[in-house]
Amino acid sequence: MSGAATFVPTPLLLSDSAKARLQALIEEEGKPELKLRVYVTGGGCSGFQYGFDFAEAAAEDDTLVEFGEVALVVDPLSYQYLVGSTVDYEEGLAGARFLIQNPNATTTCGCGASFMV
């Protein structure tokens, strides 16, 4: 049997498509300090819903997760619901959007915008 393995939990992951889209949006705005804020609010058909916004700076109690030239910002309340999730970006017939793949969600709505833990 080998020794104990080291595990460093990742608070959030960012897919390659989300990283590319975020980088493109930052370049369009001409503001390299922009970060994608990911948050959770009450509501939606399953109890909680995901939200996305841009932030130029992180608050003192935010978690900043950097991925090279792009970064995600998460407030402390939302963080507990998003640990281990992947932020993705998809384009399809229904439009283009960022979305969350959340392993903590026990139920999600059909469009994936809301969830229950």
Q: Binding site for iron-sulfur cluster: residue ranges?
A: 45, 109, 111
Cα–Cα distance, 105 to 82 (Å, whole number): 9
Binding positions are 45, 109, 111
- Residue 105 region by backbone torsions, left for phi larger than 0, else alpha for psi between -120 and 50, else beta: beta
Q: What pairs with residue 66 in β-bridges?
A: 71
